[in-house]
Amino acid sequence: MSQKAVEFLKSCKMPGALPSLLKKANAIVNEPNIPQARMSRLLTSDPVITAKILRSANSAINRGKTAIGEMSMALTTLGLRQMRVLIKAIDSTETFTDEVNEYITIEDFWRRSVAVGTCSRIIDRLLGGNSDEIFTAGLLHDFGRLLILLNSDTLPVVKLIEECRSSSELIYKHERKMLGFNHMELADSLFEEWNLPLVVRECAAFHHSPVLAVRNRYETAVVHIADVICSAMEIGKNGDSFVPLYDENARRLLNLSSDQLDYICEETSHQVEERFKLFE
């Protein structure tokens, strides 16, 4: 764990949810007899809402029990009454600073997060998996980057983005040098504090280097491949101007064929657009 990341978390601004989704979330939890599947689908369409619900659900269970990483289980644990209170207490984040918005907006980041979660689940199902947490892991994989972007008033975020663009390099490779920590360490530290499942933590900590994941290497490889695919397809943005390369270890582990990659891209595009239409 990065001590500098831990120290930064003590004073940094925490993100809020996308305003339009937060409004829908407040409305849907007050609908009588709302189907749990419909509620889960809407609530998992925002990384901040998802993270804060899982934080609350995991604070409600005894330490040592299996951490909750899937929305339907969180809803069961918390109950509808507590969910209403929790959603009402979540703030919204309408925008980054004007300087950051020149490169990436809240909506850009939201689209990328949803896309990586969706793509991760498609890959997992295609390979015969049935992970309940893979969508969550993909949705939250860049949560540390969200924290960095939101705190550009105290961090040299714009300078970092501009220098990486001018040198044609990915941002994460220079975060520790310029910030004292990287977005993977930041998310890992926060998710440990929130008692989120290890699979969610490892995917956030190692999605750029899945070979380093100890217990959830398959899931981390899935999220890594999904992240590269969504970057190549230009679904949303995360601040980078360049598409990362596939990690060869992840490619070998998943053994995806070119036909399977074509299917993943097509299905991701279809499912993401269908999901976005629900919130227009």
Q: Give residue 50's domain range.
A: 14-89
Give 124's contacts (C-beta < 8 A, 6+ positions apart): 130, 131, 134, 219, 222
The stretch 51-56 carries a mean pLDDT of 96
Contact of 84 with 64, CB cutoff 8 Å: no
- Percent of the chain predicted with pLDDT > 90: 87
pLDDT score at 244: 92
Task: Tell me, yes or no, whether 138 and 66 share the same domain.
Answer: no
Of 42, 33, 35, 40, the residue nearest 57 (C-alpha): 40
230-256 pLDDT tens trace: 999 999 999 999 999 999 999 999 999
pLDDT score at 61: 75
The stretch 92-107 carries a mean pLDDT of 95
The stretch 9-20 carries a mean pLDDT of 95
The residue from 58, 89, 120 where one domain ends is 89
pLDDT score at 276: 87
The stretch 103-127 carries a mean pLDDT of 97
The stretch 71-80 carries a mean pLDDT of 92
Give the number of other CB atoms < 10 A from CB of residue 38.
Answer: 11
Average pLDDT, the chain: 94
pLDDT at 64 > cutoff 80:
no
Q: According to the 3-state scheme, what is the secondary structure of the chain?
A: CCHHHHHHHCCCCCCCECHHHHHHHHHHCCCCCCCHHHHHHHHCCCHHHHHHHHHHHHHCCCCCCCCCCCHHHHHHHHHHHHHHHHHHHCCECCCCCHHHHCCCCHHHHHHHHHHHHHHHHHHHHHCCCCCCCHHHHHHCCCHHHHHHHHCCCCCCHHHHHHHHHHCCCCCHHHHHHHHCCCHHHHHHHHHHHCCCCHHHHHHHHHCCCHHHCCCCHHHHHHHHHHHHHHHHCCCCCCCCCCCCCCCHHHHHHHCCCHHHHHHHHHHHHHHHHHHHHCCC
pLDDT score at 214: 92
pLDDT at 126 > cutoff 90:
yes
pLDDT score at 280: 64
Task: Tell me, yes or no, whether 241 and 137 share the same domain.
Answer: yes
Of 254, 44, 248, 237, the residue nearest 140 (C-alpha): 44
Task: Tell me, yes or no, whether 119 and 193 share the same domain.
Answer: yes
Task: Tell me, yes or no, whether 169 and 259 share the same domain.
Answer: yes
Give the number of other CB atoms < 10 A from CB of residue 214.
Answer: 9
Task: Tell me, yes or no, whether 154 and 268 share the same domain.
Answer: yes
The residue from 89, 111, 126 where one domain ends is 89
Query: What's the predicted TM-score (pTM) here?
Result: 0.96
Task: Tell me, yes or no, whether 119 and 256 share the same domain.
Answer: yes
State the amino acid at position 61 in one-letter form: I
pLDDT score at 105: 96
Task: Tell me, yes or no, whether 266 and 141 share the same domain.
Answer: yes
Side-chain-side CA neighbours of 192 within 13 Å: the count stands at 13
- Percent of the chain predicted with pLDDT > 70: 98
The stretch 155-179 carries a mean pLDDT of 97
Q: Is residue 5 part of a domain?
A: no
pLDDT at 62 > cutoff 70:
no
Task: Tell me, yes or no, whether 141 and 209 share the same domain.
Answer: yes
The stretch 200-220 carries a mean pLDDT of 96
Task: Report the CATH number that the domain containing residue 234 is assigned in CATH.
Answer: 1.10.3210.10
The stretch 105-123 carries a mean pLDDT of 97
Task: Tell me, yes or no, whether 170 and 137 share the same domain.
Answer: yes
pLDDT score at 1: 64
Q: How many domains does the chain divide into?
A: 2
Beta bridge partners of 92: 17
The stretch 117-127 carries a mean pLDDT of 98
The residue from 55, 71, 89 where one domain ends is 89
Task: Tell me, yes or no, whether 136 and 261 share the same domain.
Answer: yes
Q: Is residue 1 part of a domain?
A: no
Measured CA to CA, the distance from residue 111 to residue 123 in angstroms comes to 18
- For the chain, report the end-to-end CA distance as a whole number of angstroms: 39
Give 262's contacts (C-beta < 8 A, 6+ positions apart): none
Q: Is residue 258 part of a domain?
A: yes
Question: Residue 66's pLDDT band (boundaries 50, 70, 90)?
Answer: confident
Task: Tell me, yes or no, whether 103 and 82 share the same domain.
Answer: no
Q: Is residue 201 part of a domain?
A: yes
Task: Tell me, yes or no, whether 62 and 182 share the same domain.
Answer: no
